[in-house]
Copies of this chain bind each other. A is one copy, B any other.
Amino acid sequence: MAEMFALALANLTSPAVLFFALGVFAGVARSDLAVPEAVAKGLALYLMLAIGFKGGVAVAEQGLTTTLILAALAGVVLSFSMPLIAFALLRIMTSLDRATAAASAAHYGSISVVTFVAGAEFLRLSGIASSGHMVAVLALMETPAILTGLLLAGSGAAGGDKRTRGELVREVMLNGSVVLLLGSFAIGMISGPAGMTKLEPFVVDLFQGVLALFLLDMGLVAARRLSGARRLGLGGVVFGLVMPLIGAGVALGVAVLLRLSVGDAAALMILSGSASYIAVPAAMRIALPKADPAVYLTLSLAITFPFNLTLGIPLYTALARAVLGG
């Protein structure tokens, strides 16, 4: 218990979380501090390349196991199903229109790469590192939720556009972040430890620093999005805090069923509790242009992400430990 508090405190005083807080502060105080768009995108590419590659190398070293296959299945099922819960809650708790509620719900089935990355680091420091293959689970969880979101939106989706649903799915599956994550994972698997020798200073040593700079920018963006919280209403804000707990809770149940290790269980909880802010918004603008982006971006970036980064991750980890021991 005391140890968990110490870890939670270490999380809050880690450079990554503090740089996020600095970004939020600068944004709220309306400083002109800004990370150029191209640099922010470059940092995002780096993070996805590095995380995918390291995951792939880890799997190359451990081999494909049934645990991976089970965890992957669990992830896909969670991604498909969480938007159903989120949609129901949003319809009850808020007065959002159907399209916006469906689009927002899709975000909660999918995942946030940066939340996962911060969580993986926290697990490592807690001595219960998750397996490398959880990166594959992460990549697989990115897109299924989008399909559920489209179903929930009903006939309004892509309203009358001549594009078939098939084309939509193709565009969504080929989202840049999905391709880079899965591609880097595959490259890590193929080039294995020999490849790691070459890329280690790049993908491992620099990682925490790049993450800190990226989180500074995420803080700036979150602060800008905070102004959209009024549009959400109290119901919306509460949803953004409760939904990650539900996502993580359901994932814990699944992890118990599948007898995942504590680390993998916590990682699955973090994934399930996190909300997408890159792949899903892009897909929603294509498929549901009438859904209000201010709503889902505010929910995901300005409410759920900060919650997970600061409190969610230590909480999920503590729960995983309490339930699964370790």
Contact = CB atoms under 8 A, between A and B. Distances in A.
A19 B194 CA distance: 15
Contacts of A202: 205-206, 208-210, 212
A41 B42 contact: no
Given A39-B38, A183-B25, A201 B205 contact: yes
Nearest to A33: B176
B31 A191 contact: no
A18 B191 CA distance: 8
A179 interface: yes
What size tier do the contact residues of chain A reach? 35 or more
A35 B45 contact: yes
Nearest to A217: B45
Interface stretch (A9-17, A101-109, A142-150, A317-325): A9-17
Given A36-B37, A199-B208, 18 more contacts: A13-B190, A13-B195, A14-B191, A15-B191, A15-B195, A15-B198, A15-B199, A18-B190, A22-B186, A32-B282, A33-B176, A33-B177, A38-B38, A39-B41, A39-B42, A201-B209, A202-B210, A205-B205
A256 interface: no
Interface string A292-307: 0000000000000000
Contacts of A53: 15
A262 interface: no
A33 B191 CA distance: 22
A10 B194 contact: yes
A180 interface: yes
24 contacts: A13-B190, A13-B191, A13-B195, A14-B195, A15-B53, A15-B187, A15-B198, A15-B199, A18-B195, A22-B179, A30-B174, A31-B179, A32-B171, A32-B174, A32-B175, A36-B41, A39-B39, A39-B41, A49-B216, A199-B208, A201-B205, A201-B209, A203-B209, A205-B205
Nearest to A203: B209
B208 A22 contact: no
If over half of A's interface residues share one DSSP class (helix, strand or loop), that class is named, otherwise mixed; here it is helix
A20 B212 CA distance: 28
Contacts of A38: 36-39, 42
A174 B26 CA distance: 8
Interface in A222-281: none
Q: Identify the interface centre among A37, A41, A209: most chain B CB within 10 Å of its CB.
A: A209
A176 B206 contact: no
For the complex of A and B, list the 3 residue pairs with the smallest distance between their C-beta atoms, beginning with the closest.
A202-B209, A33-B176, A201-B205
Interface in A145-167: none
